[in-house]
């Protein structure tokens, strides 16, 4: 993959028809690494040579037709994304990107309609559950961070066996919580099982999360708690 | 050959949209409806005549795209 040890990882952001957070992600990646990411079109067959990190951004790919992320998960570029993940390459799916990764089978479970039926667009606290991955090394376990959420279908659901496996293996990345870090009750915005806001695959090289860390990288918009993720990724080899 | 695929949420899976429709029917004064579950209907025309071939194609379409079998069931109704 990377040829020079000290060069920042090469990132690629995949754009589907209806993606709308690709600019936000590109800004966060560039801020952290100094290098703008490649922008890859959904109909491309290959990722740019030497790609280390693939980001599937938020939005409403294909108008959320059929199920959120269902059509994008079958787009031509996804074969290359799956192959990249199978090689151990890093993949980050945010919001609609998380839905796409679940639909593509790269992450377990599914994102259902919010239990309260409303589209949620506001700040939300998260508790960092695992601080030992290429995505989360900039945080500490139990740390409470504040990021934005903006989704109508973020209600994470998985069967009991799959849930037990996630919990047992430390694959829950973030949980919804209140400002003090307490989980449960009203701190859960969308009904997600076990307050799950993001999960890793078995090899911890694929992360999907509903919240938007890429929108909290500038004090101008109310916080910088998202920076640590992009800095960790910029430092990841 | 024509076929209809009906996709429904598995029992036990929360259906907020069905609940909202249930509430709307109640507020409209439509009595006696105990519960509503929302699903999807797909009408397909299949480019094959052999029934086994049609069944195979339909099952493939359902498994690969039309239903997310983690939370949804599908039923196939063909001519």
Angle at B70 between CA B66 and CA B75, to 5 degrees: 45
pLDDT tens for A139-156 read: 999 999 999 999 999 999
pLDDT at A213 over 90: yes
Q: What is the pLDDT of residue A159?
A: 93
Residues 6+ apart with CB under 8 A from A147: A123, A124, A126, A211, A212, A213, A215, A216, A223, A225, A226
ipTM of the complex: 0.85
CB contact under 8 A, B16 and A70: no
Show residues of chain A in contact with B17, CB under 8 Å.
113, 117
Q: Closest residue of A to B65, CA-based?
A: A70
pLDDT tens for A109-129 read: 999 999 998 999 999 999 999
Q: What is the pLDDT of residue A6?
A: 59
Of A5-19, A129-143, A166-180, which gets the smallest average pLDDT?
A5-19
What residues does each domain of chain B span? 2-78
β A144-151/A120-128 pair status: antiparallel
What residues does each domain of chain A span? 11-235
Residues 6+ apart with CB under 8 A from A166: A108, A158, A172, A196, A199
**Mean local confidence (pLDDT), A19-38:** 96
Fold (CATH) for B2-78? Mth169; Chain: A , (3.30.1280)
Q: Which of B15, B64, B68 sits opposite A110 (nearest CB)?
A: B68
Q: What is the pLDDT of residue B79?
A: 79
The pLDDT mean for chain B works out to 94
Of A55, A54, A50, residue with least CA distance to A1: A50
Taking every pair of Cα atoms in chain B, the longest distance, rounded to a whole number of angstroms, is: 49
Q: What is the pLDDT of residue A2?
A: 47
Crossing angle, helix A227-235 and helix A22-33, to 10 degrees?
60
The pLDDT mean for chain A works out to 95
**Of all residues in chain B, what percent are helix, strand and coil, respectively (each to 5)?**
35, 30, 35
Q: Which CATH class is domain A11-235?
A: alpha beta
pLDDT band at A236 (very low <50, low <70, confident <90, very high): confident
Q: Which of B14, B66, B70 sits opposite A115 (nearest CB)?
A: B14
The ranges of chain B with pLDDT < 50 are none
**Mean local confidence (pLDDT), A17-31:** 97
pLDDT at A4 over 60: no
Instruction: Report yes or no: B34 at the A interface, CB cutoff 8 Å.
Output: no
Q: What is the pLDDT of residue A5?
A: 53
């Amino acid at each position: 993959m990377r040829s020079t040890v000290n060069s920042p990882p090469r990132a690629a952001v995949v754009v589907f028809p209806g993606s709308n957070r690709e600019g936000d992600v590109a800004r966060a990646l560039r801020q952290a690494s100094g290098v703008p990411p490649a922008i890859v079109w959904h109909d491309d067959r290959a990722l740019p040579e030497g790609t280390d990190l693939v980001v599937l951004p938020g939005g409403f790919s294909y108008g959320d037709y059929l199920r959120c992320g269902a059509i994008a998960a079958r787009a031509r570029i996804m074969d290359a994304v799956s192959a990249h993940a199978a090689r151990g390459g890093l993949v980050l799916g945010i919001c609609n990107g998380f839905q796409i990764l679940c639909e593509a089978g790269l992450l377990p479970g599914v994102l259902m309609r919010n239990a309260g039926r409303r589209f949620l667009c506001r700040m939300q606290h998260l508790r960092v559950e695992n601080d030992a991955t290429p995505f989360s090394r900039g945080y500490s376990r139990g740390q409470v961070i504040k990021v934005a959420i903006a989704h109508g279908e973020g209600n994470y659901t998985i069967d009991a066996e799959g849930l037990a496996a996630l919990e047992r293996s430390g694959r829950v990345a973030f949980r919804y919580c209140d400002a003090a870090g307490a989980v449960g009750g009203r701190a859960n915005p969308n009904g997600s099982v076990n307050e799950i806001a993001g999960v890793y695959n078995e090899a911890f090289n694929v992360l999907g999360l509903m919240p938007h860390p890429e929108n909290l990288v500038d004090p101008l918009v109310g916080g910088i708690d998202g920076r640590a993720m992009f800095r960790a990724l910029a430092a990841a080899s | 050959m024509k076929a209809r695929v009906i996709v429904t949420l598995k029992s036990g899976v929360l259906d907020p949209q069905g609940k909202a429709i249930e509430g709307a029917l109640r507020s409209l004064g439509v009595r006696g409806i105990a519960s509503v579950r929302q699903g999807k209907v797909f009408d397909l025309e299949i480019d094959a005549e052999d029934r086994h071939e049609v069944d195979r194609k339909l099952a493939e379409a359902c498994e690969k795209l039309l239903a997310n079998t983690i939370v949804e069931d599908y039923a196939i109704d063909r001519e």
